[in-house]
């Protein structure tokens, strides 16, 4: 059993772990509507787009299109590094983040900036929409 498997579970590659660790470097950075800067501010889809771009993964700009840019997976199939989506201010996927494992995801929240939240309880749990795999 590798350290990666101990920390993140079976079937989680090192690149997924690196991606999650990279995303966490930006915790506390500001939310900026329409932004794509990891340091100066991004909105949810801009944050996801920019983190993924660092790993050579090209995504469309907005959450509603990002949702369909990878293979659709169920909540039970989520692994760290998968994209996770929520329905907030309009029907369909309107908010997104990167799944970290253990029911947690990292995202740029409009009231919090880049933060880690619970995907399946509370505010976000009530708004869970779906997930996709791009790596």
Catalytic residue annotation:
44, 95, 107
Residue 31: DSSP 8-state:
B
**Bridge partners of residue 105, in order along the sequence:** 99, 117
Question: What three-state secondary structure class fits 3?
Answer: helix
Task: Enter the tokens of residue 107.
Answer: 């995202």
Query: Are the C-beta atoms of residues 59 and 49 closer than 8 Å to each other?
Result: yes
């Amino acid at each position: 059993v590798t350290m990666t498997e101990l920390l993140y579970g079976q079937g989680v590659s090192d690149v997924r772990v690196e991606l999650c660790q990279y995303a966490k470097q930006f915790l506390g950075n500001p939310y900026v509507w329409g932004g794509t800067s990891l340091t100066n501010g991004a909105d949810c889809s801009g944050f996801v787009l920019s983190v993924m771009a660092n790993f050579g993964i090209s995504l469309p700009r907005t959450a509603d299109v990002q949702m369909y840019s990878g293979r659709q997976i169920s909540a039970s199939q989520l692994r760290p590094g998968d994209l996770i989506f929520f329905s907030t201010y309009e029907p369909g996927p309107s908010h997104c983040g990167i799944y970290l494992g253990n029911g947690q995801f990292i995202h740029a929240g409009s009231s919090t900036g880049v933060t880690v939240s619970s995907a399946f309880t509370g505010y976000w749990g009530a708004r869970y929409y779906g997930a996709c795999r791009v790596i």
